[in-house]
Amino acid sequence: MPTEKRTLSDANLFDILGPMQINFASSSIKGVPLLSYRDATLNLNFEDDDITRVPTPGGGSLVTVTLERAEDAFVRTLTVVLPLVRLPMGETAEFSTFVVETFDRSQAFVGTPGPAGALQSYLVHQVRATAQVVNF
Protein backbone atom coordinates (compact mmCIF):
# COMPACT_ATOMS: atom_id res chain seq x y z
CA MET A 1 0.00 0.00 0.00
CA PRO A 2 1.59 3.36 -0.98
CA THR A 3 2.18 5.83 1.80
CA GLU A 4 0.55 9.20 1.54
CA LYS A 5 3.00 12.07 1.26
CA ARG A 6 1.97 14.89 3.62
CA THR A 7 3.18 18.45 3.45
CA LEU A 8 4.64 19.83 6.65
CA SER A 9 4.52 23.52 7.56
CA ASP A 10 5.91 25.59 10.41
CA ALA A 11 3.34 26.10 13.16
CA ASN A 12 1.95 29.63 13.29
CA LEU A 13 -0.50 29.45 16.19
CA PHE A 14 0.53 28.66 19.78
CA ASP A 15 -1.58 28.27 22.92
CA ILE A 16 0.26 28.26 26.24
CA LEU A 17 -1.17 27.32 29.63
CA GLY A 18 0.48 27.69 33.00
CA PRO A 19 0.02 30.25 35.70
CA MET A 20 -0.97 32.48 32.77
CA GLN A 21 -2.69 31.98 29.42
CA ILE A 22 -0.87 33.12 26.28
CA ASN A 23 -2.04 32.86 22.68
CA PHE A 24 0.44 33.78 19.96
CA ALA A 25 -0.16 33.89 16.22
CA SER A 26 2.90 34.62 14.11
CA SER A 27 0.52 36.01 11.49
CA SER A 28 -3.18 36.83 11.37
CA ILE A 29 -6.01 38.00 9.14
CA LYS A 30 -4.60 41.49 9.74
CA GLY A 31 -1.25 40.30 8.35
CA VAL A 32 0.62 41.01 11.60
CA PRO A 33 1.57 38.90 14.63
CA LEU A 34 -0.87 38.90 17.57
CA LEU A 35 -0.36 37.93 21.21
CA SER A 36 -2.87 37.84 24.05
CA TYR A 37 -1.87 37.49 27.70
CA ARG A 38 -4.04 36.81 30.71
CA ASP A 39 -3.22 36.13 34.33
CA ALA A 40 -5.01 36.76 37.65
CA THR A 41 -4.68 40.56 37.32
CA LEU A 42 -3.87 41.40 33.68
CA ASN A 43 -5.71 40.85 30.40
CA LEU A 44 -3.61 42.35 27.57
CA ASN A 45 -3.50 42.20 23.77
CA PHE A 46 -0.49 42.99 21.60
CA GLU A 47 0.06 43.23 17.88
CA ASP A 48 2.73 43.94 15.29
CA ASP A 49 5.51 46.18 16.69
CA ASP A 50 4.37 45.60 20.30
CA ILE A 51 5.79 42.08 19.87
CA THR A 52 9.52 41.42 19.52
CA ARG A 53 10.55 38.14 17.89
CA VAL A 54 14.16 36.98 17.91
CA PRO A 55 15.11 33.77 16.09
CA THR A 56 17.11 31.17 18.00
CA PRO A 57 19.96 29.22 16.36
CA GLY A 58 17.87 26.03 16.09
CA GLY A 59 14.96 27.64 14.27
CA GLY A 60 12.71 28.51 17.20
CA SER A 61 12.13 32.00 18.52
CA LEU A 62 11.96 34.18 21.59
CA VAL A 63 8.72 36.19 21.65
CA THR A 64 8.72 39.19 24.02
CA VAL A 65 6.12 41.76 25.09
CA THR A 66 6.06 44.46 27.78
CA LEU A 67 3.47 43.68 30.45
CA GLU A 68 3.98 46.69 32.70
CA ARG A 69 5.96 49.91 32.67
CA ALA A 70 6.18 52.11 35.74
CA GLU A 71 8.00 55.27 34.65
CA ASP A 72 11.23 55.86 36.56
CA ALA A 73 10.73 52.58 38.46
CA PHE A 74 10.66 49.31 36.48
CA VAL A 75 9.68 47.50 33.31
CA ARG A 76 8.15 44.00 33.41
CA THR A 77 8.52 41.96 30.23
CA LEU A 78 7.44 38.47 29.28
CA THR A 79 9.43 36.21 26.96
CA VAL A 80 8.03 32.96 25.58
CA VAL A 81 10.53 30.41 24.26
CA LEU A 82 8.98 28.72 21.23
CA PRO A 83 10.59 25.75 19.50
CA LEU A 84 10.34 25.15 15.78
CA VAL A 85 7.26 22.95 15.28
CA ARG A 86 6.48 21.41 11.89
CA LEU A 87 3.29 19.51 11.24
CA PRO A 88 0.58 18.89 8.67
CA MET A 89 -2.34 21.29 8.35
CA GLY A 90 -5.11 20.38 10.77
CA GLU A 91 -2.92 18.58 13.30
CA THR A 92 -1.87 19.79 16.74
CA ALA A 93 1.44 19.17 18.50
CA GLU A 94 1.89 19.36 22.27
CA PHE A 95 5.16 20.41 23.86
CA SER A 96 6.61 21.87 27.03
CA THR A 97 8.54 25.11 27.18
CA PHE A 98 9.13 27.98 29.54
CA VAL A 99 8.18 31.61 29.95
CA VAL A 100 10.48 34.18 31.53
CA GLU A 101 9.21 37.27 33.32
CA THR A 102 11.91 39.93 33.57
CA PHE A 103 11.71 42.78 36.08
CA ASP A 104 14.14 45.47 34.91
CA ARG A 105 14.89 48.40 37.19
CA SER A 106 17.88 49.73 35.21
CA GLN A 107 15.91 52.86 34.26
CA ALA A 108 14.76 53.54 37.84
CA PHE A 109 15.24 57.12 38.92
CA VAL A 110 17.13 57.02 42.18
CA GLY A 111 19.51 59.96 41.74
CA THR A 112 23.21 59.93 41.07
CA PRO A 113 24.94 57.53 40.57
CA GLY A 114 21.80 55.54 39.63
CA PRO A 115 20.48 52.14 40.72
CA ALA A 116 22.94 49.67 42.23
CA GLY A 117 23.03 45.90 42.49
CA ALA A 118 21.39 43.38 40.16
CA LEU A 119 19.17 45.50 37.91
CA GLN A 120 17.19 42.62 36.42
CA SER A 121 15.47 39.76 38.17
CA TYR A 122 13.79 36.78 36.55
CA LEU A 123 10.86 34.50 37.25
CA VAL A 124 10.75 31.33 35.12
CA HIS A 125 7.53 29.36 34.54
CA GLN A 126 7.49 25.84 33.09
CA VAL A 127 4.40 25.61 30.85
CA ARG A 128 2.53 23.24 28.53
CA ALA A 129 1.70 24.38 25.02
CA THR A 130 0.09 23.34 21.77
CA ALA A 131 1.02 24.40 18.26
CA GLN A 132 -0.84 24.18 14.99
CA VAL A 133 -0.79 25.40 11.42
CA VAL A 134 -3.76 27.53 10.39
CA ASN A 135 -4.60 29.53 7.27
CA PHE A 136 -5.21 33.19 7.94
Count other Cβ atoms within 10 Å, centred on residue 6: 9
In a domain, 2, yes or no: no
Name which of 66, 65, 83, 82 is nearest 74 in CA terms.
66
In a domain, 13, yes or no: yes
Return the pLDDT at 136: 81
The pTM score is: 0.88
Return the pLDDT at 12: 96
In a domain, 67, yes or no: yes
The CATH number of the domain holding residue 108 is 2.40.128
Name which of 73, 66, 69, 64 is nearest 107 in CA terms.
73
Return the pLDDT at 3: 57
In a domain, 83, yes or no: yes
Return the pLDDT at 2: 55
First to last CA, the chain: 35
Name which of 124, 128, 97 is nearest 21 in CA terms.
128
In a domain, 16, yes or no: yes
Give bridge partners of residue 45 from the DSSP assignment: 36
Provide block-wise average pLDDT over 10 residues at a time, the chain (136 residues). Answer: 75 95 94 96 97 93 95 90 95 96 83 76 97 92
- Structural domain that includes position 45: 9-132
In a domain, 70, yes or no: yes
